[in-house]
Chain A
C-alpha cells in the first residue's frame, strides 16, 4: 500500500473548504464534471502509474463496504 496515512493535516480544513467553495453555485452535473477534472489533474500531478493503480484500487475497494 502506497497511501500516505495523512499528508493533509494541519491544513486539512483549509483544503476541505477550498474544495467545497469550488463547488459553490454549481449544478450537480457541473459538480460531477468538476470532480472528474480534478481527479484527472491530480492523477497527472501524481504521475506514477503504480501509485495511481493503488489509489484507484483502494477507492474502489470501499464500493462494497
Chain B
C-alpha cells in the first residue's frame, strides 16, 4: 500500500488580522529538523512558531537510515520507541564485487543498548510521528502549514518575517529565527551566503519498490547490501535496503551524461529493476534521479539567524549523514537556545553551536565525499587503484577495509572544544553517552534515559557526588541519598570504568570527569559548559 499523504489543515494565522506578540523562536520549515527543533525547545518550556510552505510530510521516502545516536535523541524527544517499533532494525552491511561477497561489517557487535545500530524507516513516517508528537504541546508549539516565509530582516534584537498564506501576507516578529528550510534554503539565498563545495557529476537513480517477495533472494534480509560492478548493473554500483511495509530502496549509479528526465521514467526504470528482482512482481512506489553535493556554510550563526539541518550542510547519502547530522544539530542547539532565552546563559553560548556542529558537519562531509569519490573514480588512475583494491579485497583483509561504500553515521565527538573540561576517562569529555542497561528504584531503565535532557552527574562505583543547585545526580553500583541504579550485566561499569564521576550536558555529551568531585570543581565544569567560564567572569 502506498503511503497516504493526508494533508494537514491550514488555519488562517492571527497575524493576518492583528499584530501577533513577538515570538521567542520562529522555525522556518517543518521537515524532520524543524519539527525536532520545536519539540526539543517545547520540552524545555520554550515556545515556538513553526512555519512550512507545504502541508504534507516529505513526498517520496528520501531519508531511510536512522542511526543509533539519532534514535537516542529521538528517544529523548518522545518518538524513538515508535520509530523503533515500526522501523526495520539492521546492523550488518555486506559489500559485493560482481557475484562475490567481499566484505561484511557489523555496526554494533555488542548487546546492552536500548537502540540498534540503525533502523530503516521512511522519512514520511518520521515526519508524521514528529508532527503527532508536536501536537502534544498545543500551547507551546504553533505549527502553521501553508505559511511560506518570503522575507526576513534581522533587526539586531529580533527578526521581522514576512509570511505568505492562501489568505495573503502577514508579518511577525521573533527573538530568534531558526532556518530549517532545507538544502535549497531561501533564507540562505536572501542573505547571499556562499554555499559552494563539491558537486559529483555522476547521477544516481533512487527508487522505492513494494514487493511481497524479497529482492534479497529467498527471504527478506534486514541488511545493507552494496555492489561494486554488480552482474545486474555492470560497471556501476548499486545499493539495496529493506524498509517497512514491504518496501525496498534501490540506489543505482548512472552514467555521468545520463539524461536525468529520461532516466526517471518507468520505461527506463522498470527494466533496471527487473534486472535485479527478476520475474518477482513489484510496484514502483517512488523514483527520482539525483546529483549529489557535499557543501556546508562557513558560519551557522548569523546574528539572530541560525541555520540548522540541510540549510547549513548537505551531503551525498552514502553513510546516511544528512538527516542524522541534522538531528545532532538540534540536540546541540536546543538546550543552549533555551538557556539563553531563559536567562541562564549569555548569547555567547549560541556561538558554540556553530563551533561544535560546524566540526560535526565537516566530519560528515569528509566521510561522505570520500565514499562518493571511491564509488565514482574520476581518472583512469583512480579507477585502476579502485579495481585493484577490489581484486585484493577478495582475500586481503586490509584491502577489504579500503572499500568505501559509505562510512555510516557515527556520533560526533566534541573532544577539545571549549565547553568541555579536559580530562581522561574511558569515555573522554566531548563524547556522547554510551548506553547501558540499568535497574533502579522504578524498575529497568537505560542510561541514555537517565542522563539526557538536563545536566546530570553520574557516579560509577565508589565515588561521592556533591549536591549542586540545578544538577541532577544519580549513582550506579553505589548507595546514596540520590537515586541509585545497578549496572545490569555490569555493562555500565565496563563501559565507563569504576570509581569515577561523569558530568553530562543536557544533550548527553560528557563535559567533565572526576575521580573525587568537589562541589567547586563540578560547578566550574557546569559554568564552563554554559560558556560562563571563570575567565569570562574575571
Contacts and interface: CB of A to CB of B under 8 A. Distances in A.
A13 B400 CA distance: 12
Contacts of A20: 373, 382, 385
B391 interface: yes
A60 interface: no
20 contacts: A5-B396, A5-B397, A5-B398, A6-B397, A13-B404, A16-B389, A16-B404, A17-B370, A17-B373, A20-B385, A23-B379, A23-B381, A23-B382, A26-B381, A28-B379, A28-B380, A28-B381, A31-B379, A31-B381, A65-B391
Interface string B368-388: 001001100001111001000
B381 A6 contact: no
A3 B396 contact: yes
Contacts of B398: 4-9, 12
A4 to B, nearest CB: 7
Sorting the interface of chain B by its residue count into under 10, 10 to 19, 20 to 34 or 35 or more gives 20 to 34
Given A8-B402, A28-B381, 14 more contacts: A6-B400, A8-B398, A8-B401, A12-B398, A12-B401, A13-B404, A16-B374, A16-B402, A17-B370, A20-B385, A23-B379, A28-B380, A62-B391, A65-B394
Interface in A13-65: 13, 16-17, 19-20, 23, 26, 28, 31-32, 35, 62, 65
Nearest to A35: B381
Interface residues on A, range: 20 to 34
Interface of B: 367, 370, 373-374, 379-382, 385, 389, 391-392, 394, 396-398, 400-402, 404, 407
B121 to A, nearest CB: 28
A3 B397 CA distance: 10
Contacts of A26: 381
Contacts of B400: 6
B529 to A, nearest CB: 29
Nearest to B382: A20
Contacts of B392: 62
Contacts of B391: 62, 65
Contacts of B404: 13, 16
Judged by DSSP, the binding face of B is: helix
Given A7-B398, A8-B401, A65-B391, A13 B379 contact: no
Contacts of B373: 17, 20
B25 to A, nearest CB: 38
A49 to B, nearest CB: 22
A42 to B, nearest CB: 14
Select the residue from A23, A26, A28, A32 with max chain B CB neighbours within 10 A: A23
A62 B388 CA distance: 9
Contacts of B385: 16, 19-20
Contacts of B381: 23, 26, 28, 31-32, 35
Nearest to B395: A62
Contacts of A62: 391-392
A10 to B, nearest CB: 8
Contacts of B379: 23, 28, 31
B220 to A, nearest CB: 31
A19 B391 CA distance: 18
Nearest to A22: B381
Nearest 6 CB-CB pairings of A with B: A6-B398, A5-B397, A31-B381, A9-B401, A6-B397, A23-B381
A20 to B, nearest CB: 6
Contacts of B389: 16
A23 B385 CA distance: 11
B49 to A, nearest CB: 43
Nearest to B392: A62
Contacts of A4: 398
A20 B397 CA distance: 21
A65 B407 CA distance: 29
Contacts of A31: 379, 381
Contacts of B394: 65
A62 B385 CA distance: 14
Nearest to A28: B380
A12 B396 contact: no
A23 B400 CA distance: 22
B396 A13 contact: no
A19 B389 CA distance: 13
